Amino acid sequence: MGKVIVVTSGKGGVGKTTSTANLGTALALLGKSVVLVDADVGLRNLDIVMGLESRVVYTSMDVIEKQCELNKALVRDRRVDGLMLLAASQKNNKDDMQPEQMKAICDKLRTTYDFTLVDSPAGIERGFRNASAGADEAIVVTTPDVSAIRDADRIIGLLQNVEIEPINLVINRFSPQLVGNGSMMDQADVLDILNIDLIGVVPEDSGVITSTNRGIPLVYEDGSPGAQAYMRIARRLTGQRIPIPDLEQKGLFSNILNWFTKNR
């Protein structure tokens, strides 16, 4: 029996879809069977980020309306085995879907695939409720800024209300330079507020923009720091214990200070 994980954030633009695409691809590269479900009905993007937009024939709405079988609606990824996409309908809106219908789809996918990653839309309304309806676990994506963190906090509260557990945190677009000069919150500040388990920190990586435009997830580019971070998170999702590297660049002064406090 596989796991259904909803990838959500509350705030838009923090990297839910990018994270879903990259984690799904990374899990498939690790040999897992994976299906990505776009729950952003009416504003679908996951097909573009995966480079599969020209192959989408049926959507989850067609499955719900019994226009086609679930298996027929799944789009197979060209680059890696065992990776499928269930696209969202672009012509419907979120109220056309019921949470129970999404749950039924997730329940079916769980029996076949190791991982079902559901890409949630921004917001806390129907779209979010649809996306989380069938989820066993959650990944909350946030960026280290106060507005994203407040929204993540709200989402965590809602996920806890429906007893989705565990809820793991991904800090995205982390900039060691900005933390170093004190203009960005560090990991400890974010965790202090949100108080859930951290599963990974993805550094700011301009490669994300080109990879999105080309429809090739970043994880295919082995050398990029973003790709490495997503691969590590995927390994942690499979149960491997991999430490989270300290991305924070300490200045010379604080290094000296650390040395003194350690050796005191």
| Residues in contact with another protein by the rule CB under 8 A | 124, 146, 149-151, 153-154, 156-158, 160, 192-193, 195
DSSP assignment string, 115-166? EEEEEPPSSSSHHHHHHHHT-SEEEEEE-SSHHHHHHHHHHHHHHHHTT---
Q: What does the alpha-carbon distance between residue 61 and residue 59 come to, in Å, rounded to a whole number? A: 5
User: Are the beta carbons of 56 and 75 closer than 8 angstroms?
Assistant: yes
In whole angstroms, the minimum distance from the beta carbon of 124 to another protein comes to: 8
Give the residue with the Cβ less far from another protein, 61 or 164: 164
Give the residue with the Cβ less far from another protein, 150 or 250: 150
C-alpha 252, offset from chain centre: 35
C-alpha 79, offset from chain centre: 20
φ, ψ of residue 246 in degrees (nearest 5): -80, 105
In whole angstroms, the minimum distance from the beta carbon of 194 to another protein comes to: 8
In whole angstroms, the minimum distance from the beta carbon of 182 to another protein comes to: 12
Give the residue with the Cβ less far from another protein, 156 or 199: 156
In whole angstroms, the minimum distance from the beta carbon of 141 to another protein comes to: 16
- CB-neighbour burial class of residue 180 (10 A; exposed 0-12, middle 13-18, buried 19+): middle
Give the residue with the Cβ less far from another protein, 158 or 198: 158
Beta strands 115-119 and 83-86 are unpaired
Give the residue with the Cβ less far from another protein, 29 or 194: 194
In whole angstroms, the minimum distance from the beta carbon of 12 to another protein comes to: 16
